[in-house]
Amino acid sequence: MRDDHNLRTLLTNYQFKETPIKNNPWRIVLIYGIVGCLWILFSDMLLLYIFKKPDLVLSLQTIKGWFYVFSTSLLLYFLVKFGYSEIFNLTKELYEKNEELVSFSEELIAKDDELNEKIIKLNETMNRLEDQKRFKDEIFNTTSTVVMIWNLNGELIETNSRFTELFKFESSEAIGHKWEELLLDEQERHTKNEIIEKLGLDKRLERYENHIVTKDGKRLYMLWNKKRITDPNSGVPMVVSFGVDITEEKIKEARIIELAYKDRLTGLGNRVMFEQDVEKRIEDQKEFVLYYLDFDNFKNLNDIYGHELGDLFLKDFAHKVASEFSDMDMYRWCGDEFLMVGKQVDLDAIRYRMSELMTMTSQKWPIEHMDYYPSISVGITKYPKDAENLSELLMNADMALHKAKRNGKDTYVFYETQFRSEVEQITQVETRIQNAIEESLFHLHFQPIYQLNNFGVIGFEVLLRFDTELFNMSTGELISIAEQTGQISAIDRWVVNRSFEYIKSHMMHTDHIVSINLSSKSLSSSTIVEYIKTLLYETGINPGRIEIELTEYSLINNFKNTLAIINSLKALGIKISLDDFGTQYSSLNYLSKIPFDTLKIDKSYIDQIVNNTSERIIVEQIISLSNKLGVQTIAEGVENKEQLSLLTKMGCQYAQGYHLDRPMAVEHLTPYGVHIGG
């Protein structure tokens, strides 16, 4: 601006100022005219005055003329020189001014160029700002994030398109209204003040979650980031809220949590939830009672009727118990095992609740086309009376449950400290059993089986024996512990293998049948048939001389699988015998479905046939039924000749017992034709 003023001043001075250059010709002419006139008027008079002689003056006219020319020339010289001096000075000044003007002009051109460049940059900046504004407006209205700008009273100042799209409120319906009244349930509207309070502390609130109710009543779960800002124009504080709809993520998260903490079949809490809940109770040091529930012989339902029916029952049972015992927390542990946690620790109250549970469980449960009558065993332990941590509580409940099973099932047992010593004893026996198997510390005895019509020995039952120094218990107790520890299968295979060795070494030249007992565990193994088949091939023993004895209990545990294995053994030519007949309620059912060769009448019946008419009639009917089915009968535990005489009259084909012969080592079998020696 200052440079422009200087330029205008310079141009004005040179355009309007009366300079010597403009008036110089007229001044010279005027001076020359005045001097000429004065010379003409006064030169003659001056000469006449000086010389006093007219003639002389006349003669001097020529000289006067030359003098005039010379003097006027000299005058003109000085006048022109003076004029040129002024012109030179003016020209110099003009040049200098012109240089200054050129400098101003160049500076002005530079300023003009700079100004033009700034104008161009300004235009570019304005264009960029416009583009940025359009870009920001596009982001503001096309982002999937809800944007709300509101003042500290909660009144909405501005919203974006996503706000309208998600919450269904047009901008005109929202601007000027309080967002908490538009979007929150009435009971949650107080949270706005909490939000403002938090924003007043650190100006920012991140990852804040809440429920939003849309205009059409839909509930959305939103995740917000909020920041307190100040309007740069008005200085008024306000809040910008950025919200993302996380409803689907919350649904998925809930589903993941449900899968992680809920049992998929029953909807009850699973073991993860159980452990967390119990740990929380322990942390809070609250007394509670832990119940460990396990169905008795539930595997039969799955094996006979299929897992679908079993699952239907478990689901129905879980829902009913959870409803009836709502004062307890119920969890599914695994399979048919459940856990319950109750805060009632009074002994009488617990007994009453368990009586209710047992009664409810043992009722008839209709499942599709059949009625199921289950029973359940329960182990009970208390916190903190019995244990102070979760692992010990579970261990105690498990020991109490196993005690209930050993007590005959369909009952409940409270944990007692001596259970631990029983478990320790079982652990010690387990170790000894393993050593006995590995070091062949067991040995076999053989009890002769007699044919009653001629009292000839037709075969032997193989019985497991051991030194009392190794195991201070009966064989039955040892077998029971081996079933608990899972070692019974290894014992079975040891017995089968050693029996085949004895037959090959000592009995190949006889036709005696050797009867070998197999446990339910072995009969559920898919490899037992191949194992026996391999032994038959390696030893060359006639399979018709091998008889496998099964108990009713082993059939109950896994009927379908057991039947398949029995048929496979029969296909090899091996005989099948049903041991302890009459000790289970379904014996007759098994007789009709399984191709037994012999049936062994349990000793509990034989003991009573002499003095108890009812028991005698039962034995008579068993023998009669077996004969009609083509199944031979063996009486077990014959201990006197009266029993033997009655059994012979009843038509029983075979018998064994202490009255006939005790079990004996193989070296004592020589009287029966068994070869001993190298």
Task: Give 121-150 pLDDT, tens digit per residue.
Answer: 878 777 776 766 666 666 667 677 888 888
Mean pLDDT along residues 450-472: 91
- Could you tell me what percent of the chain has a pLDDT over 70? 87
Instruction: Write down the mean pLDDT value for the chain.
Output: 84
Quickly state the pLDDT bin for 329 (edges 50, 70, 90).
very high
- Is the separation of the CB atoms in 146 and 162 below 8 Å? yes
**Of 126 and 182, the one with more pLDDT:** 182
Of 17-21, 384-388, 477-481, 540-544, least confident by mean pLDDT is 17-21
Of 313-327, 336-350, 551-565, least confident by mean pLDDT is 551-565
Alpha helices in 362-417 (DSSP H): 390-406
Q: Given this model, what pLDDT does residue 17 score? A: 46
Mean pLDDT along residues 353-365: 92
The Cα 558–Cα 199 span in angstroms is 68
Q: Given this model, what pLDDT does residue 395 score? A: 92
- Residue of 631, 621, 628, 629 lying closest to 653 (CA atoms): 631
Asked if the model's pLDDT at residue 373 lies above 60, the reply is yes
Of 52-66, 354-368, 427-441, 553-567, least confident by mean pLDDT is 52-66
Angle between helices 307-324 and 347-361 (to 10 degrees): 140
What single-letter amino acid sits at 429? V
The Cα 184–Cα 612 span in angstroms is 84
**Of 233 and 163, the one with more pLDDT:** 163
Of 257-266, 274-283, 359-368, 456-465, least confident by mean pLDDT is 257-266
DSSP tag of 672 = G
Q: Given this model, what pLDDT does residue 24 score? A: 60
Q: Given this model, what pLDDT does residue 93 score? A: 76
Mean pLDDT along residues 339-364: 92
* The pair of three-digit structure tokens given for residue 370, joined into one six-digit string: 């059949």
Question: pTM for the full model?
Answer: 0.54
Name every residue whose Cβ is closer than 8 Å to that of residue 676 and which is 6 or more positions away in sequence: 506, 666, 667, 669, 670
CA torsion through residues 258, 262, 264, 266, sign: negative
The Cα 535–Cα 495 span in angstroms is 12
pLDDT digits (tens, 9 = 90+) for 71-98: 777 777 777 777 677 777 777 777 777 7
Backbone dihedral region for residue 472 (phi beyond 0: left; psi -120 to 50: alpha; all else: beta): beta
- Is the separation of the CB atoms in 446 and 664 below 8 Å? yes
* The pair of three-digit structure tokens given for residue 136, joined into one six-digit string: 């920001």
Of 14-23, 236-245, 321-330, 511-520, least confident by mean pLDDT is 14-23
Mean pLDDT along residues 564-589: 80
DSSP tag of 246 = -
* The pair of three-digit structure tokens given for residue 195, joined into one six-digit string: 């939000």
Quickly state the pLDDT bin for 44 (edges 50, 70, 90).
low
Q: How many CB atoms lie within 10 A of CB 161?
A: 14
Q: Given this model, what pLDDT does residue 527 score? A: 87
Asked if the model's pLDDT at residue 62 lies above 50, the reply is yes
Instruction: Please report where in the chains the tokens 């369909």 appear, as a residue.
Output: 410
Name every residue whose Cβ is closer than 8 Å to that of residue 487 and which is 6 or more positions away in sequence: 430, 433, 434, 437
* The pair of three-digit structure tokens given for residue 598, joined into one six-digit string: 């012999």
Asked if the model's pLDDT at residue 647 lies above 90, the reply is yes
pLDDT digits (tens, 9 = 90+) for 191-213: 888 888 888 766 788 888 888 89
Mean pLDDT along residues 617-642: 92
Q: Given this model, what pLDDT does residue 56 score? A: 67
- Is the separation of the CB atoms in 411 and 297 below 8 Å? no
Q: Given this model, what pLDDT does residue 606 score? A: 93
Q: Given this model, what pLDDT does residue 15 score? A: 46
The Cα 491–Cα 479 span in angstroms is 9
Mean pLDDT along residues 391-395: 93
Asked if the model's pLDDT at residue 661 lies above 90, the reply is yes
* The pair of three-digit structure tokens given for residue 439, joined into one six-digit string: 């070091």
**Of 520 and 248, the one with more pLDDT:** 248
Mean pLDDT along residues 227-251: 86
Beta strands in 502-651 (DSSP E): 513-517, 546-551, 575-581, 598-601, 632-635
Quickly state the pLDDT bin for 586 (edges 50, 70, 90).
very low
